[in-house]
């Protein structure tokens, strides 16, 4: 087979896969970052108020002490750690991760990752993963929940989205 024939076959295979829709679009995990700064502001204000009522800051749990930085700084640090965890997690290699606030158009297979209530100084966060399934009746959502730090969240979310874990059968 000549080089021209080989490249012709490759071109035909590519064209056939495009025409038949055989190329699979990447699943997207969209991190819901829309209300985190406000949640952080509320948590920092509440911690400051509770701390002033108790007096002794050193005896309190670290995440309940007053915030030392601007509330938005805690959010940006967590987002950076989370994005880094998704980048470095091998289960995530077939996925695309982005902030929900930066999405231009909604992809076909989207999973929305939200934090239930952002705690600025906590090592772990409660999270919720919602899948908008295109193959089921409108309004049907599949949810997953967990608690963890950025590495644990990335691992669990990517395992769910890529079906690396067990198959859960629904009635």
Q: For residue 9, is it within any domain?
A: no
User: What is the rounded CA–CA span in Å between residue 38 and residue 117?
Assistant: 10
pLDDT at 151: 97
- For residue 31, the cross-strand partners are 99, 113
Q: For residue 63, is it within any domain?
A: no
- List per-block mean pLDDT (blocks of 10 residues) for the chain, which spans 171 residues: 51 42 73 90 86 62 75 94 96 92 78 91 93 60 88 96 75 53
CATH for 151: 3.30.160
Report pTM.
Answer: 0.74
What is the tally of structural domains in the chain?
Answer: 1
Q: For residue 167, is it within any domain?
A: no
Q: For residue 19, is it within any domain?
A: no
Q: For residue 90, is it within any domain?
A: yes
Provide DSSP, 52-104: HHH--STTS-GGGSPPSS-HHHHHHHHHHHHHHHHHH-GGGTTEEEEEGGG-S
Which domain does 157 fall in, by range? Answer: 25-35+72-161
């Amino acid at each position: 087979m000549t080089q021209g024939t080989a490249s012709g076959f490759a071109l035909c295979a590519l064209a056939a896969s495009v025409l038949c829709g055989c190329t699979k679009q990447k699943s997207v995990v969209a991190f819901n970052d829309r209300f985190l700064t406000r949640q952080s502001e509320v948590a920092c204000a509440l911690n400051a108020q509770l701390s002033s009522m108790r007096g002794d800051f050193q005896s309190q749990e670290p995440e309940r002490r007053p915030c030392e930085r601007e509330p938005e700084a805690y959010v940006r640090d967590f987002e950076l750690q989370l994005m880094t965890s998704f980048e470095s997690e091998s289960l995530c290699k077939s996925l695309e991760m982005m902030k929900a606030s930066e999405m231009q158009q909604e992809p076909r297979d989207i999973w929305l990752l939200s934090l239930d209530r952002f705690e600025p100084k906590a090592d772990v966060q409660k999270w919720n993963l919602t899948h908008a399934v295109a193959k089921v009746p409108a309004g049907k959502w599949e949810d997953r929940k967990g608690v963890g730090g950025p590495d644990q969240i990335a691992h669990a979310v990517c395992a769910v989205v890529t079906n690396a874990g067990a198959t859960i059968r629904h009635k």
